[in-house]
Structure 1
Amino acid sequence: MTTIIRAEAAHDFLALVPSLAGFRPERSLVCVAFIGNRTAGVLRFDLPRRVRDRAPLVATIVGTLCRLPGVDALVPIVYTDARFGVGRGMPQRSLLGMLTARAEEAGFLVRDALCRASDGWGSLLDPDTPATGHPLALIDESPVTRLAADVREVASSPSESATLPAAEPDVAARIVDALEQLTGEAHEKTLRRLGVNGDPVALVETLLGREAVHPPLRLAWFLHLASIPALRDAMMLQIGFGVLVGEAAHDDAMNTADRAAELGETVDGFVVREMAAGTLGEVSEMLSRLMIGRSTLRPDVRRVERALALLRQLIANASPAHRVGPLCIAAWLAWSLGRGSAAGAFIDRAIDIDPGHSMAGLLSTLIGSGTLPEWAFSGR
């Protein structure tokens, strides 16, 4: 069942992986999935810290591969700070062996099983791998490294897309002033200045439009709305799935907020309880399924990418009190594209600001469980 990629080809493959993944893996177990001879995707998982966590991780990986349409082969790769050392052998050999065995039992072709350590690299399936590993220079000096760099800019880590730009003090001050106007005595007059963008649905579409720079008042209004749970979730779904879903989500949000208020509950708590009881309305149920990824309807990647670019700038210029809402939105959007590490980085920031925030806690559980949305497994 095993086809070995010999050292001459394996180091070129390792040089290519960062370009395939879009980041340079660190302390990770990366699985490159194949359909025939064509790469079909890259899965990344944190290396298990304890021996007892290896089997559950392997089961998760094999289960995920089984759900990917057409995938019939893989190359698992360990990236670790550990060392081959002088004759110690390959780090994480047991983990790679366990994954290789389980994947083959499930019917997958394991093309190779590789380890890139801090002082060398090697193949579990190549008996000629030295006990001290092959030199990393073979990877770094591979022609593939230069070719891959020409094709695609590679992030230094999977969470780099969650890195915030430097704050702009002038912009931040203007947003603060605009927020004070929106929540002060003259808020109705200030809202009229927004025109059609006073409507949350119209606001999201404007922010995702062609304008490169948005007025501070518009940005402040988005921040204010993102601090209101029902509207935050509606705008989040609208970004991912379009204006029609946004309109449905906005109407449902208003109804949900009213019902939660009548019962003296938070919106997040109300929705969780209603879902558990199976008493959500039809529209609410559909929207909730979208939110937790139980749908094959795929988010619009271009809209999500534009929103993430805007959100990073907005979060950088917002005061801590107004960052948690947009951080939750950014985390969910990153997760919707399969960027679990970036999503986790956004959520960690949100929890640092407000450890008891209910949506941040829910997203932390969802993302931390390694759950992928169903649309990740549907045909493109």
Structure 2
Amino acid sequence: MTTIIRAEAAHDFLALVPSLAGFHPTSSLLCVAFSGNRTAGVLRYDLPRRARDRAPLAAMIVGTLCRMRGVDAVVPIVYTEARFGAGRGMPQRALLRMLTARSEEAGFLVRDALCRAADGWGSLLDPTTPATGHPLALIDESPVKRLAGGAGEVASSPTASAALPPAEPEVAARIAEALAGLTDEEEREHALRRLGEHGDPVALVESLLVRGRVQPPLRLAWFLHLASIPAVRDAMMLQIGFGASIGEAAHDDAIATAERAAANEETIDGLVVRELATGTTGEVSEMLSRLMIGQSQAHPDAGRVERALALLRTLIANAPPTHRIGPLCIAAWLSWALGRGSAAGAFIDTAVDLDPDHSMAGLLSALIGSGTLPEWAFSGR
């Protein structure tokens, strides 16, 4: 049985969606999931370019909904620059029909299936939808839109959280100068003495996450230097998400992993992939690897992740190109960990542009591009 949201309610719902999603959707398929009468999450996907891509996309969406605890209903919404007035009626009608059918076959209530086009909007499930669509003014002038505007900031797009601020030439110069001093062994020893306890990666990360603290250029440079070392980069990444204890375990494991990689004449990223595939990882390594690929119901600390992303955006903007890939990979993974797949993709695309052969960037590109979500996205808090 399908419950239809009539036009007078549907346009209010469409006015609310940007606040639910946290951004203004464009050229996207959004699925608003419900648990009873409460929204339980918003999934976003790129619109399929070919007709043959619809079925795999629908299957992936329904599979994701099945994994979301307590979800029993959904409203799919197409956002497109296509027009009702082009003569074919509602754009992406075939996609909405397929997704509605697959969702109902899986036992989900489809409350509505909507399309917001360039010149109007409509409901697949409402036979009174005009061939030219309802006016967009109904959405834009909805009182719900004004009320939702006070609920929090809405980004301009799903990738807005990956946007970098303008570079600050003076800050960039100081970071570059500090990095240059880390290339010489004697100068690096002097820098480590100046860093004191913050020469330790765990203490460094915890210091960088302190809200409102102005960070010395040397600490930022040391973080960039460490982020270019694969095992240390991954340990710092997990520490940001899951805390100092995980960071300490990850750094101890990183040393052991680096030693195994050197003994086998492998890259560290290659070693990790091989050991996961062959099931030869140790207990700690396996736990950390599963955290990295999202096979855990332990939630990252969202506050820590948000603070780190704010720092990373500024740091990437001011880092020399030679030292941007490490923090870009960290920012991509942290964004993915929060369920921001589009922002994660934007970060990793930048990393791949800088170095198409970078192993971690390639691994993250495959993970993010597959549409995989971490298991903690489906577990209750």
Q: Which category describes the TM-score, using the shorter chain as reference length?
A: over 0.9
In 2, Cα distance between equivalents of 1:9 and 1:74: 16
What is the SS of the residue equivalent to 1:186? helix
Deviations along 1:155-211, one digit per CA (max 9) or x if unpaired, are 010000000000000000000110111222321011100010000010000001134
**Most deviating of 121-130 and 211-220:** 211-220
Contact 1:22 1:155 in 2 (8 A): yes
In 2, Cα distance between equivalents of 1:186 and 1:104: 65
In 2, Cα distance between equivalents of 1:231 and 1:131: 58
In 2, Cα distance between equivalents of 1:170 and 1:106: 57
What is the SS of the residue equivalent to 1:150? coil
* Alignment-derived partner of residue 191 in structure 1: 192
Contact 2:211 2:307 in 1 (8 A): no
1:3 equivalenced with 2:16 (yes/no): no
Contact 1:86 1:131 in 2 (8 A): no
**How high is the TM-score relative to the length of structure 2?**
0.99
Query: What is the CA distance between 1:277 and its match in structure 2?
Result: 1.1
* Alignment-derived partner of residue 136 in structure 1: 136
In 2, Cα distance between equivalents of 1:352 and 1:361: 11
In 2, Cα distance between equivalents of 1:358 and 1:11: 46
Contact 1:32 1:75 in 2 (8 A): yes
In 1, Cα distance between equivalents of 2:71 and 2:211: 38
* Alignment-derived partner of residue 308 in structure 1: 309
In 1, Cα distance between equivalents of 2:87 and 2:263: 69
Deviations along 1:212-243, one digit per CA (max 9) or x if unpaired, are 31000000000000000000000000000000
Matched to 2:301, the amino acid is D
What is the SS of the residue equivalent to 1:182? coil
Equivalent residues in 2 for 1:339-354, closer than 5 Å = 339-354=340-355
Q: Any unmatched runs of 5+ in structure 1? A: none
* Alignment-derived partner of residue 330 in structure 2: 329
In 1, Cα distance between equivalents of 2:211 and 2:39: 34
Contact 1:88 1:132 in 2 (8 A): no
The alignment of Structure 1 onto Structure 2 pairs a total of residues equal to 380
Q: Any unmatched runs of 5+ in structure 2? A: none
Aligned residues: CA RMSD: 0.8
In 1, Cα distance between equivalents of 2:313 and 2:213: 14
* Alignment-derived partner of residue 365 in structure 1: 366
In 1, Cα distance between equivalents of 2:161 and 2:86: 37
1:217 equivalenced with 2:218 (yes/no): yes
In 1, Cα distance between equivalents of 2:351 and 2:323: 10
* Alignment-derived partner of residue 124 in structure 2: 124
* Alignment-derived partner of residue 236 in structure 2: 235
Contact 1:332 1:343 in 2 (8 A): yes
* Alignment-derived partner of residue 56 in structure 2: 56
Equivalent residues in 2 for 1:258-337, closer than 5 Å = 258-337=259-338
In 1, Cα distance between equivalents of 2:231 and 2:34: 41
4+ runs deviating over 2 angstroms: none
**How high is the TM-score relative to the length of structure 1?**
0.99
Contact 2:238 2:247 in 1 (8 A): yes
1:21 equivalenced with 2:21 (yes/no): yes
In 1, Cα distance between equivalents of 2:167 and 2:112: 45
